[in-house]
Structure 1
Amino acid sequence: MAAPCLWHRPQHYAGFTGKTPKALDRVPCTVQRRSRAAVKGSRSPGWQVRPLRPRSPLRRSPGLQTWRHTLPSAACLPNPHTGNRGFDLLLCAAASPRRGKRLRKGIAALALATALLLPLAWPIAAVAQAKVDAWPTRGWERSSPEAQGMSSQELVNLVVFGISNGMDSLLVARHGRIVAEAYYAPFASGVRHRVNSVTKSVIGSLVAMALKDGLLKSLDQPVLDFFPEHHVAHLDERKKALTLQSLLDMRSGLDWSEPLQGAPPQSFLDMQRSPDWVRFILDRPMAARPGERFDYNSGNPHILSAILSKVTGRSALAYAKDRLFKPLGIEDVAWRHDPQGVSTGGAGLYLQPRDMARLGYLWLRGGAWDGQQLLPPQWVDKTRHATIGMGLGPDLHYANLFWSVSAKGVYMAVGYHRQLIVVMPALDLVAVFTGASRYSNALGVPSVPAYAFDAVLGPLMAAVKSDTALPEDPEASAALAGAVERVALEARTQESGSSPLASAISGKVYRLKPNDLRVSSFSLTFEGEGAAYDYAADGQRFGGPIGLDGLYRVGGRRPYGSSAAKGMWLDERTFQLEAQTLGNDDAAIAAATFDGKTVTLRIGALGGPKLELSGEAEE
């Protein structure tokens, strides 16, 4: 029994026409079932495809670039995207013998649709429809890059790039499995990292969940309806038209100064100094109609966080722990809040890199997680296909508090100093990067994370070689393991000398005069080969060990994590302390000069302003 078809395999076409095949050429053929006797003991399939030698002249259709032949009542178009599996998927159409003419037109139209649409849709469709067998709820599976169709050598280059570009961590996962993971000393695995404006994308996701949960009626709801208790300043028709969607898309129209390049984020800084952040934002005058223009504004997601608190009856952090983080297996979370207890919407979330990757994997899977649809699919689709220009070039767009690189089919959660969650749907890939300014990286020189997005997106795309496994590459795998091991080691800086003053000041507490840092006391302790520092701020004590051998000592406590510090005597009276909170991007140097009972502290961050504090030793 034979069924007619159009053959998509051009190599066979060349065999009986003598012409060079073209990509879209098709050949009339039949799919014929073979007898059991012919199949038995053979590795061949139970059917075969035979090209038709036309009994009547074939007519070439210039528009379709295909052959047409009068076919009987059924026709099949073998799927051209089934690879070496042959024609196991058939697109079939059936018709009665009386409808031969209509059938031929239908086949031609179907052939054209197959030729034009499937090659474009295939990469995304393959990801969306593929069976997902890896959900990292209880932990991430690991794999070699080659097993997931990636090149270890390309990933080596990416890890090395991170050394001189201020990376704290790098993680790449494909097909739901980690293929590369690096931590740059002194940062380490299992430590939370400040994700800055990645917080915005989490707020956007929580708004989508509240919409799905029925807590929000629509993204077109007026913002001021949620704040009837506020007598809003500068109220006009434009402010009354402010909606949730205009906040999500950074098109609120509020008068705000927070440029993405160049000048400091003055409005953001003023908001942080205000006693009531929500009131500060709502009272801003309008500079444009909502939806009229893009203007980056960290106040927008903070208002959304306040709205989440109103409709859920709890903070965004509490809502996220229950509805978002718990299903994903995310447990180690910290989130700052404003003076009224509202979770900060524009920044302030702390996550481990592996948990950042879990969020990326949720977004990659269209908001689905292990059988649960956590986010509305249409919301994720709009996020992926953002169209709002950001004024940063033709390829960067914005939607729902996410960035999109349209030319590469990539969308991202983006935070200051390159805190990134990169989602590449067509490649079934998620990548995470965290960063911080450093006085000394693994090469012993300062570095700041300010690289262009293409510097990591390009290598990620270049590392993907196939949708299926590649042969293992032991040499490249060893090079990748070596690069990961190398960046986890510090470069030793100058060791500390000694000072006869060390024993005299050790353990003394110096009371400091009032200052902008609100630090009230400071002390150093030297004991044997070790040292430690201690300070008080806002009524709490912080500090940790100090490495005197040119390497950081990690431990102690700072406001947002563990301390990492090292120090050295610059001269007999001045001790220089280099300290940071792991994962908080706050590295600073404090030079303490002692003169009798007094101390002068000169404190500065890399590339930032310097402050001078002074005080006297307690009696």
Structure 2
Amino acid sequence: MRRETAIRRRTPMTTFPSRPTGWALPFGVGVATALVMVPLALWAGVRLGTLSSNTVRAAVPALLLVGVVPPLAVVGMEAWVIRRLGAAPGRTGLAVALALGTQVLVLAGAIGLHASARRPGDAALLTGVLAVLLPLGVTGALRARGRSGAAALRASRASLPLCLVLLGLPGGADAGCPERSLWPTQDWASAPLPAGHEPALRAFEDHAFTRKEPASERKGIRTDGVLILHRGRLVYERYAPGWTAQKRHLGWSMAKSATNALTGLAVAQGALALEDSICKYVKATRESACAIQVRHLLEFASGLDWQEGYENGPLQTSSVLAMLYGEGHGDMVAFITSHVQRDAPGTSWEYSSGDTTLLAAVVGAAMRPRQPEGWEWRLLFEPLGVRSAVWERDGKGVLVGSSLLYATPRDWAKLGFLFLNDGCWEGQRLLPEGWVAQSTAVSGPLRQKRLYWDPGDVQGWQLWLNRRVPGVQEGKPWPHVPEDAYAMRGHWGQSVTIIPSLDVVVVRMADDREPGAFELDAFLARALALVGQSP
């Protein structure tokens, strides 16, 4: 009896084994926790980063959130599961240290590779990497009860090559998109003008918004609205009587730059190539037009004998007026390609609404087999948050790519912001890499031969440039503005000017009817002074 009692006293009373009996379930829970908590922390970090205009003040708490919450959550959930299995967690302190160290290492690698939490592809890859690496070290440490934890450390060190391989996968980290803490997809965030701006404000508004009387004569500078964006924020906005932020404004030839963007989207989709003949996609009236390539239309180099005359010239000989309002409106492609081939395509430059409208038709036909109707809105306008756009079509349903696009000034600004950010939006590349750089290089045919050209008409691909052209024009078109500036421009004074070196976009909607009354250079110089910038 005494011996039996002694044996009973030597029997251990604890309900926990000396170490966890399995690793699969805790590891699986750790993976699941990481798959939930990493994207949630990334999303919360991005949102937190937009709450302050001070980059450091916003970045520090955002990085702490992303760096601390997921690893602690994985440790906590795995430890809880091990207890539920009737075991005692091992070296919890080591697990926390390994998890935090792994998280810091992966985040540092991602930052070094220019990954962005705003790019879904980058966020997904980062989540996948951490969903593997975090549980590896944590599970090993929590199972290391009574041991040195060397196995856990070896597992953590072995995960470093895996981390580097995964983060280095093509297309995962660096898509070449600029980083932004704010995007105006929903609406523009605002910021105040610099201190002491009052004299510059008076000078700017006296210049831009003082109208000559009587108004019925439409003389002088007639500004309908101005927006100035600096570092991604709206710092100035004003409208003339009768205009508001919600009212659409016709952009006239600013539509040409939107057609440039649609062309870039089609190239990115693989729907067409710049060297393709237009006759691969549309039926030309004259067979000679089949020598015209997509690139020639972007460059205003179709070589068609086009007459770009407006209301101040002979109306009967104007090709553009006939296209928009006369015989060509029913079938613009047929009308444009009925023009005589004056020069070989690609050998001369002439500003032509016909070229751009033909380009819109080609792009639309190329995309039709791949995308349902309305792709222009789904792929371009909707990602930007442009909700006001109305674009007229001809009798055949072709977008009037040269002219008839209406949008609110704030939405016109978003198109400019797309170009400013190299064709990217919220970390996603919409236009092909290098597209904006090509679009803002001086058109090759312009250097060769120019027809109906005025000094200052420096063009890229459907964009106006502030570039010197040696042998053609030695000075900048806008002398008081940085040389890297370029603009979307339209009839009667419309403009969206993009200045990458100053991180500035200036939008002007107008009704200038008096030739020579408005000068873009003088207007932009005053706008830049208002935000405290100078070339």
TM-score by length of 1: 0.49
CA-to-aligned-CA distance 1:557-581 (integer Å, 9 cap, x gap)? xxxxxxxxxxxxxxxxxxxxxxxxx
Could you tell me which residue of structure 2 aligns to residue 299 of structure 1? 354
Asked if 2 retains the 8 angstrom alpha-carbon contact of 1:435 and 1:449, the reply is no
CA distance in 2, matches of 1:261, 1:462: 35
Match for residue 221 of structure 1 among 267, 273, 276? 276
Distance change in 2, residues 1:231/1:171 (3 Å):
closer
Counterpart CA distance in 1 for 2:523 and 2:177 is 27
- Indicate if the aligned counterparts of 1:146 and 1:152 stay in contact, CA closer than 8 A: no
User: Amino acid of the residue matched to residue 321 of structure 2?
Assistant: L
Q: Which amino acid aligns with 2:524?
A: L
Gap change, CA 1:160 and 1:392, over 3 Å in 2? farther
**Residue 452 of structure 1 pairs with residue 519 of structure 2:** yes
1:332: which partner in 2?
388
Per the TM alignment, residue 370 of structure 1 is displaced from its structure 2 partner at its CA by 0.7
Residues 308 and 316 of structure 1 are in contact (CA less than 8 Å); yes or no, is this contact kept in structure 2? Answer: no
Corresponding pairs, count: 324
Deviation at 1:231, TM superposition (A): 6.0
Task: Provide the residue aligned with 2:186 in structure 1.
Answer: 138
> Which fold has the larger relative contact order, with Cα–Cα distance below 8 Å and residues 6 or more apart in sequence?
2
1:269 maps to 321
Following TM superposition, by how much is the alpha carbon of 1:393 offset from its aligned partner in structure 2, in angstroms? 5.4
**Residue deviations 1:517-572, cap 9 Å, x none?**
xxxxxxxxxxxxxxxxxxxxxxxxxxxxxxxxxxxxxxxxxxxxxxxxxxxxxxxx
- Residue segments in structure 2 that go unaligned for 5+ positions in a row: 1-175, 212-220, 468-475, 477-482
1:232 aligns with: 285
Query: How far apart are the structure 2 equivalents of 1:354 and 1:244?
Result: 30
2:253 is matched with which residue: 177, 184, 197? 197
> Hey, what's the Cα distance between the residues in 2 that align with 1:325 and 1:331?
7
What secondary structure is seen at the aligned counterpart in 2 of 1:278?
A: helix
Q: Tell me which residue corresponds to 2:415.
A: 359
Q: State which of 334, 343, 361 in structure 2 corresponds to 1:279.
A: 334
User: Quick one: distance in 2 between partners of 1:376 and 1:210?
Assistant: 9
Q: Is the 8 A contact 1:167 1:435 kept in 2?
A: yes
Which residue in 2 is equivalent to 1:414? 489
Q: CA deviation at 1:155?
A: 3.8
Corresponding letter in the other structure for 2:205: V
**Whole-angstrom CA distance in 1 between matches of 2:485 and 2:271:** 30
Q: Name the CA distance, whole Å, in 2 between partners of 1:299 and 1:422.
A: 24
Gaps of at least 5 residues in structure 1 are: 1-127, 439-446, 468-619
Aligned residue for 2:398, secondary structure, equals: coil
Which of 425, 428, 434 is the aligned partner of 2:509?
A: 434
Q: CA 1:333–1:261 in structure 2 vs 1: closer, same or farther (change >3 Å)?
A: closer
Counting aligned pairs with the same residue, the percent is: 29
Kindly indicate whether residue 440 of structure 2 is the aligned counterpart of residue 384 of structure 1: yes
Q: Following the alignment from structure 2 to structure 1, what is the Cα–Cα distance between the partners of residues 336 and 302?
A: 11
Q: Partner of 1:321: helix, strand, or coil?
A: helix
Aligned structure 1 segments of 4 or more residues deviating by more than 6 angstroms: 314-317
Distance in 2, matches of 1:344 and 1:432, equals 22
Please, what is the CA RMSD of the aligned residues? 2.7
Query: By how many angstroms is 1:331 displaced?
Result: 0.8
Q: Could you tell me which amino acid in structure 1 is paired with residue 460 of structure 2? A: A
Cα shift at 1:300? 1.1
Letter of the aligned partner of 1:251 in structure 2? A
**Scaled by the length of structure 2, what TM-score is found?**
0.56
Give the Å deviation of 1:171: 0.4
Distance 1:129 1:350 in 2: 28
Q: Secondary structure at the match of 1:397?
A: coil
In structure 2, the residue matched to 1:156 is 202
Distance 1:307 1:316, change over 3 A: farther
- 2:177, 2:422 within 8 Å by CA — same for their partners in 1? no
Task: Sort the Cα spacing of 1:336 and 1:241 in 2 relative to 1 into closer, same or farther, 3 A.
Answer: same
Distance 2:526 2:187 in 1: 26
Q: How many Å separate the matches in 2 of 1:422 and 1:144? A: 20
1:364/1:336 Cα in 2 relative to 1: closer, same or farther (>3 Å)? same
Residue of structure 2 in register with 1:207 after alignment: 263
Deviation at 1:292, TM superposition (A): 1.4
Q: Could you tell me how far apart the structure 2 residues matched to 1:211 and 1:289 are?
A: 24
- Partner residue of 1:252 out of 302, 308, 318: 302
Question: C-alpha displacement at 1:335, in angstroms?
Answer: 1.2
Alpha-carbon separation, structure 1, partners of 2:284 and 2:407: 36
1:199–1:346 CA contact under 8 A, matched in 2: yes
Tell me how far 1:366 sits from its aligned partner. Answer: 0.6
- Match status 1:397 vs 2:464: no
1-structure distance, mates of 2:381, 2:516: 28
In the TM superposition, residue 154 of structure 1 has moved relative to its aligned partner by: 2.3
Query: What are the superposed Cα offsets for residues 111-140 of structure 1, whole Å, 9 maximum, x if unpaired?
Result: xxxxxxxxxxxxxxxxx9974211111111
- The whole-number CA distance in structure 2 between the counterparts of 1:453 and 1:258 is 21
Structure 2 letter corresponding to 1:461: L
| Partners of 1:259 and 1:316 in 2: CA distance | 35
Deviation string, structure 1 residues 6-51 (Cα, Å, up to 9, x no partner): xxxxxxxxxxxxxxxxxxxxxxxxxxxxxxxxxxxxxxxxxxxxxx
- Say whether the 8 Å CA contact 1:155–1:463 is kept in structure 2: yes
